[in-house]
């Protein structure tokens, strides 16, 4: 059974930084792309960032490009999202997800590409 667990959310002032972590277990972590999504109150869940199984390819939403960095450590079965220069509009529940398919070259930017999801972690940015 694949399990995905996020951690690291919290409350931060605008301009500050937070680092989210995600641990996945139940299959060979290093074979699967990983993604981060977020859902703000009253809004649909949206793509934030994704990283290929080899870490060679990363994608970012335009709204976070240049501020967020996604990375992974396949030896530790973890993926991280470093969030810098946070804005109030970054406030959301952040979800980590693991790809449905093994060793996909390009990590998906849509929810449909991911088959396993964490429970989410709240990030609140105060102005």
Q: Share the mean pLDDT of the chain.
A: 97
Q: What is the pLDDT of residues 103-127, one digit of tens each?
A: 988 999 999 999 999 999 999 999 9
Residue 14 CB neighbours (<10 A): 13
- State how far the alpha carbon of 100 is from the alpha carbons of 11, 32, 61, 121, in Å: 32, 8, 21, 22
Q: What is the pLDDT of residues 65-90, one digit of tens each?
A: 999 999 999 999 999 999 999 999 99
Instruction: Return the pLDDT at 27.
Output: 93
Q: What is the pLDDT of residues 42-60, one digit of tens each?
A: 999 999 999 999 999 999 9
Is residue 88 packed enough to be buried (19+ CB in 10 Å), middle (13-18) or exposed (0-12)? exposed
Sequence-ordered list of residues with C-beta below 8 angstroms from that of 40, at least 6 positions apart, any chain: 89, 91, 92, 93
Contact 37, 95 (CB under 8 A): yes
């Amino acid at each position: 059974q694949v399990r995905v667990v996020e951690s690291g959310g919290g409350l931060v002032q605008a301009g500050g930084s937070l680092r989210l972590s995600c641990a996945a277990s139940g299959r060979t972590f290093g074979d699967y792309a990983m993604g981060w999504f977020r859902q703000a109150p009253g809004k649909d869940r949206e793509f934030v960032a994704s990283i290929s199984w080899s870490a060679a390819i990363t994608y970012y939403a335009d709204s976070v490009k240049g501020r967020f960095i996604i990375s992974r450590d396949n030896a530790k079965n973890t993926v991280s999202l470093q969030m810098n220069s946070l804005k109030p509009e970054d406030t959301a529940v952040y979800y980590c997800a693991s790809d449905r398919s093994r060793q996909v070259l390009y990590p998906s930017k849509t929810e449909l590409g991911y088959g396993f999801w964490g429970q989410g972690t709240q990030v609140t940015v105060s102005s």
